Amino acid sequence: MAIRNIREIGDEVLTKKCKEVTEMTPRVKELIEDMLDTMYEANGVGLAAPQVGVLKRIVVIDVTGEDPHVLINPRIVESSGEQTGAEGCLSVPGKNGIVTRPNYVKAVALNQNMKPIELEGTELLARAICHEVDHLDGHLYVEKAEGPLTDVEYEEEEA
Ligand code: NI
């Protein structure tokens, strides 16, 4: 178990497009374990590999604290509806902004055993999936936020 340093907005690594993962290696396995530890330590609901400085298409998501999802090479294949609400990011500490996202998404990905999986979600889970997949293409929610970011006292639901 290791907590990794979370990169913050302004760090170039957060603007890069990440590379597909082609095989599970001890190094990738360790990265995934560290990403989960780092997400929980920071009270986040999601974390993408570039946020810990690694340009691989890997995200971890857990919107309840009891239901971790590991998504390797995720792709959103369906989306519908709309939700508008506050969104935060562990790479933009202490802030949130209003972002409109689909209310439902379905993603396909590989799990930590490199087996194909599907993950469907609504509301916060749908938002988290979209937010994390954006990270893999070098995008932060601040690009999509409506109006100025606001300061938050309690950093909840950050990804
Ligand atoms: Ni984020």
At 53 the pLDDT is: 98
Is residue 135's pLDDT more than 60?
Answer: yes
> Is 132 among the catalytic positions?
yes
Q: Does the pLDDT value for residue 137 go beyond 90?
A: yes
Integer Cα distance of 132 and 145 in angstroms: 15
Tens digits of per-residue pLDDT, 91-102?
A: 999 999 999 999
Query: Among candidates 27, 144, 149, 37, which has minimal Cα distance to 93?
Result: 149
Asked if 46 and 159 count as a contact pair (C-beta separation under 8 A), the reply is yes
- 25-38 mean pLDDT: 98
Residue 153: pLDDT band with limits 50, 70, 90: confident
Rounded distance from Cα 26 to ligand 1 centre (Å): 25
Q: What is the mean pLDDT of residues 134-157?
A: 89
Residue with tokens 């950093």: 155
- Banded pLDDT at 155 (limits 50, 70, 90): low
Distance between Cα 158 and ligand 1 center (Å): 7
Of the residues 87, 132, 157, 158, only one is catalytic, namely 132
Predicted confidence (pLDDT) at residue 157 exceeds the cutoff of 80: no
Distances (CA, A) of 158 to 41, 47, 114: 12, 9, 27
Residues 129-147 as b or e (16 or more Cβ within 10 Å = b) = bbbbbbbbebebbbebbee
| Cα gap 14→100, rounded to integer Å | 21
* Tokens of residue 8, six digits: 């913050």
Could you tell me which residues are beta bridge partners of residue 56? Answer: 19
